Amino acid sequence: MPTQFFYGKQDFVGDVRFITVPQMANKSRFDSAVQAGWTDRMERGLLRYTLGDLQTRILPGSCGFVAQLNVKRGIERRKPQEILSIKQVFNANQFNFNKINPDEIIFEMIKDCDEEQKIGHQPCKIVVLVNVSPLEFGHCLFVPDPTRCFPQVLTRFSIQVGIESVLLSSDPAFRVGFNSLGAFASVNHLHLHGYYLKHKLNIESLPCRPVLPGKGFHTLTGFPSGFLFYTESECVEVVANTIGHVTDFLVEANVAHNLFMTRGCPPCEQNDNLLRKGVRIAVWPRVACFGTKEESALNVALCELAGHLPFKNKKDFELATESHVIEIIQRYLLPHEDFLQLEKQLTQHLMIL
């Protein structure tokens, strides 16, 4: 029987600031559970490779890209599944998280369900697994009740638990993200990624343009173009529901997308004061990529769009410049006119809800 991690709103951490010291003085209960469980699995040899201290450099330029060299992930990670559609159905014959070594389970994350969730038969359990091909320290996967075999399409529950996981951490270095099918998701079984990155990202304080501020809907004004939502602990369910309407719309419109959650400043703040009381949730609609083709240097998925660049080879890592990275990422973003049209459609969609 896996260890169970029970939590409630009383466990959310509000007053968080970004600091650069290597160790936090007061880890939250969530951080302690994730980090201890992940380290234990690493020491027991359950990971495909030893991560170690990744060589890291900040690329000069306004984007503040955090480049890391992670050759072993590029070589030794499981081959991604062939994805042919954003709405591809779950296939029990392919690899999925019901086929993992049970020792990879760190714990089951459980929050009390309200009556509405029970009536709707929503899952109230998340299985937290060690990612055996880690991007960074503590890299884990959040899988909503794997036995229910959900395809890689976001649900309200998975969005809400992703946001709550960030709020449960006292470390602003903890990030959560999601790749849709057609946006470099490698397994068609619903899961989110969580990991620690001890480097500040521009996405935490990037300026935004309000679109429907009453719905928490904003547009990022810096690179790369995307939509932004923000919540503190009191409004998680409402914001998660709004984001769910957005991602449902994207799925129905066959628009691939990546999502990234991190501690960050409220959208209306102009200055970065390092306070990280709430969570920023960025959603990037993008050009869909089908099949198993990958870039030689880096794949443009959730972390790359957020400014974290895991490079697969030393040459590209050493030679990369901000302009070159922007050129690569730009190939996967929607053309500006298409993005503006989608923003208009989403605004109309959210206004009638």
Cβ-proximal residues to 180 (8 Å cutoff; 6+ apart), any chain: 86, 152, 153, 154, 247, 250, 251, 256, 257, 258
Please state, in angstroms and rounded to a whole number, the distance separating the CA atoms of residues 93 and 105: 21
Structure tokens at 172: 């602003």
- The token pair at 55 is 């060589």
Distance of CA 276 to the CA centre of its chain: 17
Distance CA 294, CA 308 (A): 17
Query: Does 139 qualify as catalytic in the annotation?
Result: no
Which of 331, 349, 337 has its CA nearest to residue 250? Answer: 349
State the catalytic residue, choosing from 189, 191, 218, 308.
191
- Which of 166-186 are b and which e, b meaning 16 or more Cβ less than 10 Å from the residue's Cβ? bbbbbbbbbbbbbbbbbbbbb
Q: Are 211 and 315 in contact (CB under 8 A)?
A: no
> Got the DSSP string for 280-331?
EEEEEEE----BS---SS---SHHHHHTEEEESSHHHHHH--HHHHHHHHHT
Measured between alpha carbons, how far is 281 from 325 in angstroms, rounded to an integer?
22
Name the residues annotated as catalytic.
Answer: 191
